[in-house]
A and B are shown apart, each in its own frame.
Chain A
Amino acid sequence: MIEDKLLVSRLRRGDADAMCQVYQKYKDYLFTLAKALLGGQGEAEDVVHDVFVSFARMVRQLQFMTNLKGYLATCVGNRARDRIRARTRQAAANLDSTDPVSSNTDGPQQCAMVQEELTRLRQAMAEVPYEQREAVILHIKGRMKFREIAKLQGVPTSTSCARYRYGLDKLRSLLNSEVQ
């Protein structure tokens, strides 16, 4: 946390090296969030790009920032929402054929199983209503608190909690056969 405060402080003074450090520290985390929210690799890359460029442009004007990681995750959430809104139909998100994998690889066979499992998870997530998916991803993967998600979604905390539960139920239903 203090490390982030120092990085932000340096960024406010235009320190390019601090920008590189922030990018290296959070790029994969944010990319994972974006991809989980949007499904498509290209869109996720665009969102992460836009978040970092916008952050770099605004950091000198940003007021008190308590949590850099949370701030960047919220930015990803906002931009992902914008893209979802821009889609004429939510329908199924664009799933890339070549999905990356989890880091937990114990062997080729295990790796293939994990890949397959995660592919099914992504497919299932694409079928979950966006607000619910957003609550699930941001809470579980983004480690954001429900009040933070509620703020991002512009709803009461109880609503974001409910969206999380509904989203998880939906995923459970979709993946029922896989996770029993």
Chain B
Amino acid sequence: MRPAEKIKKMIKKLNDTTSAEMDKKVLSDALQALADSKETTSADAEPNKWRIIMKSRITRLAAAAVITIATLFGIGQFFGGTVTFAQVIEPILNARTIVFDFLVGEEEGPVIHDIVVGNRIRRTFSNMETVLILDLDNAKMLTLDPLNKGATYMDIKGPIGEQTKNFMEFVRNAVTRLEGQEVEELGQQEIDGRDAIGFLVRGHDEGIKIWADSETATPIRIELRFGQTRYILKNIEFDVPVDESLLSMDVPAGYILSEQEFDLSQFSEQDFIITLRILVKHSFGGNFPESLGLEDFVNMVGQIQAEAGEPKISEEEQVLLGMHFARGVMFFQQLGPSGIDWRYIGNGVKLGRADKAVFLYKPRDSKTYRVIYGDLSVKDVSPQDLPE
């Protein structure tokens, strides 16, 4: 072997390892530095308490619905593959500013429009006037009701806050989860008037399809599937100039703010029953809907906002209803991720019918199912006696 080659080989053999003591010190300091780099608040007290500061004129029920929508997408992580695909996901992972439309379910459904700048999000909805501004660093949310000039601040700490994410984060998590899976090229297609190249990655019970501009490799449409639910991100723009005042957490001039406590630290079956009642009564004319899924909650938010403004419901009732409604959605949300067996069987059942089951679930460690009927009564039923 030539001397130079031997020297190179010797240099390659250099392999020093850090000590456990050093690892401990470096990691400790680095993690502290990482934590310090976040703009944190001292709001670690009240870990499971949401305090909502609500203006009397704001529609509390709608605000509560909005809270739940803001947190509905906190589902838990993608792939190897080609350099081209790596290019495509680059802006998804690293863009500081992202503007996009988000849909749950079908293309025709209500559109959620997000402007994301770092960890701030401005979220608006096609089916209601409410504006959300989320400060994820400080676990705060500002809700604005432009019609009534009402403003709401709320803390979004604790488990619920952890689920309150930028929808693009939802995509990033899917990318992470599907890492190592084969990337399938879908070829070229015109998407939203642009020549696009498509990629598909499939996981066990999920998949992600990304259409990217064939020249710039910038994603223009992303479709996610988790189980039976489909999510669409479209009209995506990365790192475009944004008026950052749109993401200010200050209450805009002319808006009025007042305080009221709103506790979402716990939820129960009873909350879910109230949610079902509100849903059926106010959004479906007294008949249970065809299905009960995430998209149904998204679809009904606008209707609830309209209904909750009716004069028969006092402000106090609205607050209570809003709180129970939000808790009920939380109860529903945690069923699947908690591994709890549940079924919705209420299609077409009239509210008040005691002989027709609408929903059933099996609490953890329980031998029997809890069955909710059309009159919203509940019974414990053994598995062999469950309704069809």
Interface residues of A (CB under 8 A from B): 1-3, 5-6, 8-14, 16, 19-20, 23, 27-28, 31-32, 35-36, 41, 44-45, 48-49, 52-61, 64-65, 100-104, 114, 117-118, 121, 136-137, 140-141, 168, 171-172, 175-176, 179-180
Q: Which residues of B contact A52 (CB under 8 A)?
A: 26-27, 29-30
Q: How far is the CA of A179 from the CA of B7 in the complex (A)?
A: 8
- Does B4 touch A at the CB level, under 8 Å? yes
Given A19-B31, A45-B18, 13 more pairs with CB closer than 8 A: A2-B179, A5-B89, A5-B93, A9-B93, A12-B94, A23-B30, A28-B18, A48-B18, A100-B17, A102-B15, A140-B12, A141-B12, A180-B3
Interface bits B1-27 vs A (CB < 8 Å: 1, else 0): 001101110111111111100110111
Per the bound structure, the CA–CA distance linking A161 and B78 in Å amounts to: 39
Which of B34-42, B66-74, B203-211 lies at the binding interface? B34-42
The CA-CA distance from A82 to B7 in the complex, in Å, is 26
Q: Measured between alpha carbons, how far is A103 from B80 in the docked complex, in Å?
A: 29
- Tell me, in angstroms, the Cα distance from A45 to B20 when the chains sit together: 12
A134 to chain B, nearest CB (A): 13
- Separation of A137 and B10 alpha carbons in the complex (Å): 11
For the residues of B in contact with A, the DSSP-based class is helix
- Complex formed: what's the CA distance from A2 to B119 in Å? 22
Query: Is the C-beta of B169 less than 8 angstroms from some C-beta in chain A?
Result: yes
Please give, as numbers and ranges, the residues of chain A lying within 8 Å of B147 by CB-CB distance. Answer: none
B7 touches A175 (CB 8 A): yes
Q: Are A44 and B16 interface neighbours, CB within 8 A?
A: yes
CB distance from B49 to the nearest CB of A (A): 22
Cβ A6 vs Cβ B35 within 8 A: no
What are 15 inter-chain pairs, A to B, with CB distance below 8 A?
A2-B78, A2-B86, A3-B179, A5-B90, A9-B172, A14-B38, A23-B23, A23-B26, A27-B18, A53-B33, A56-B34, A59-B34, A60-B118, A140-B12, A141-B14
Which residue in A31, A36, A104 is a CB contact (below 8 Å) of B17? A31
Query: How long is the Cα–Cα vector from A27 to B175 in the complex, in angstroms?
Result: 26
Contact A57:B8 (CB < 8 A) given known A2-B86, A9-B94, A104-B13? no
> Given the complex of chains A and B, what is the CA–CA distance between A136 and B10 in angstroms?
12
Measured CA separation A176–B133 after assembly (Å): 68
Residue of A32, A49, A118, A168 touching B26 (CB-CB under 8 A): A49
- Of A6, A16, A64, A118, the contact of B13 (CB 8 Å cutoff): A118
A residues near B172, Cβ cutoff 8 Å:
6, 9
Q: Which residues of A contact B11 (CB under 8 A)?
A: 36, 121, 136-137, 140-141
In Å, the complex CA distance between A23 and B24 comes to: 11
Contact B3 A175 (CB under 8 A): yes
Residue B285 is within 8 A (CB to CB) of chain A in the complex: no
Given contacts A31-B17, A45-B18, A60-B37, contact A19 B3 (CB under 8 A): no
> For residue B361, which residues in chain A have a CB less than 8 angstroms away from its CB?
none
Among residues 49 to 100 in chain B, which have CB atoms less than 8 Å away from a CB atom of chain A?
A: 78-81, 86, 89-90, 93-94
Q: Would B78 and A56 count as touching, CB distance under 8 A?
A: no
Closest CB-CB distance, B73 to chain A, in whole Å?
15
Using known A-B contacts A23-B27, A172-B4, A180-B3, determine if residue A5 contacts B86 with beta carbons closer than 8 Å.
Answer: yes
